[in-house]
Amino acid sequence: MNVFYIPSWYPSADENISGIFHQELIQAMAAAYPALNSGVSLWGQKTEANLIWAKDHLKNFYKLLRFPLERNYQYTIYDNLKEYYCPALTWSDKLFQGNIKRIIEANDENLNRFESDFGKTTIIHAQVAFPAGYIAMHLASRHKLPYVITEQMSPFPFSCYMRKQQIMDKVLLPMQKADAVIAISPHAARDIQDKTGVQPVIIPNLVNESMFSPLAHPAKSSDKQEQQVFTFFTLGRMVPQKGIPDLLKAIKLMSNKKVNFRIGGDGEHLQEYQALATQLQLDVNIQWLGELTRKEAAEEFKNCHAFVLPSIHESMGVVYAEALACGKPIIATRCGGPEFIVQEHNGLVVDVQAPDQLAGAMDLMIRLYSQYSPTAIREDFMKRFSSTAVTEKVYTLYRAILSQN
């Protein structure tokens, strides 16, 4: 089986986290199924040098001058997995549709190079309806191939893809023409079906169970004072969707003041949230960690007592599953995806934008912490969100589509 992957977002030197879930799924599929040959199509999705911004006239001039020097390349990850790069510029769709025709051609060049290495493509797997799904729709029609879309927009669709309260065709048509659409949670599946008429298959994002795992030997301190300090970890982009102001207000309301909060993530609102923490006199309780690598994030999960993130909306919320992989209980909000993840044995769930409920849940988590079993949490994670569990579901879907075609 030869699978050609088209990710809308993918880690780059400029954005090493964006699209990491796409990358981890692709690599896990290749590792789990040696007979499955995989190609990843790249055109500079998150590479700053390939992005033309409306107001950066001087930088844009330099980018246009250097772009002719860009060359195709390919990079071998495993014997059965290669990344193919064919450069294309991206700009606002208000001008020549954002160069989407050239981007489609760049992906077609990548597909041809993939087929030169491994033979005829069996199926195309696009990650997110636009641009990847739109590209896949055109390549599938041109080459007579089936294609799948995994939808990751949160919420679906992004507001920029709506016109007069209608989903734009460049998002809607790829979803409707796909041989299958994957939603990453039951909530996301309902949302997609209500808005597009397409009934998705539910397959969550995976978590690397080797990287995210419980501490082999949990530290035991003899310092009673240190044992009394409970550590919550939070990880997310510093944007309104993640509900960080609600977390800060909840910390202020907690009855237990011997609590430590380690907050990871970067974003445009970071300084605003830090100022709010200072205003609420919470500086002594909070350590702002900034952007974390995957390895650094895994260490934070392993060394905290519990994970908390009061998001306003999540299609899934893979960070909650990462916490479970490390055997840690979680606190989430009823914002869509997390209800699929949180169960009685692994955490608590509260209403969205309800700092009083969140404060109560964090106080309760501290009091009942000994009742949460890291072993039980980890075992349940392995059944639902591990790479082993998720890759099997994706491979089974590929086989089902091929049998129908």
Residues 1-24 have pLDDT tens digits of: 999 999 999 998 888 888 899 999
Instruction: Give the CATH number of domain 224-384.
Output: 3.40.50.2000
Q: Domains of the chain: which residue ranges? A: 2-206+387-404, 224-384
Q: What is the pLDDT of residue 223?
A: 43
Give the mean pLDDT of the chain: 94
Given the candidates 3.40.50.2000, 3.90.1150.10, 3.40.50.10490, 3.40.50.2300, the CATH classification of the domain at 2-206+387-404 is 3.40.50.2000
Which of 15-19, 358-362, 380-384, 395-399 is predicted least confidently? 15-19
List the structure tokens of 77: 């990850």
Model pTM score: 0.92
187 alpha carbon, distance to own chain's centre: 16
d(CA 135, CA 299): 37
d(CA 344, CA 161): 37
- Exposed, middle or buried by CB within 10 Å (0-12, 13-18, 19+), for 13? exposed
On whether the CB atoms of residues 184 and 174 are closer than 8 A, the answer is: no
- Exposed, middle or buried by CB within 10 Å (0-12, 13-18, 19+), for 370? exposed
On whether the CB atoms of residues 87 and 67 are closer than 8 A, the answer is: yes
Fold equal for 2-206+387-404 and 224-384: yes
Alpha-carbon distances, residue 272 vs 230, 267, 284, 342 (angstroms): 26, 10, 17, 30
**Residue 100 predicted with pLDDT over 60:** yes
pLDDT, tens digit, for every residue of 167-180? 999 999 999 999 99
**Residue 225 predicted with pLDDT over 60:** no
Q: What is the pLDDT of residue 323?
A: 98
**Residue 128 predicted with pLDDT over 80:** yes
d(CA 322, CA 326): 7
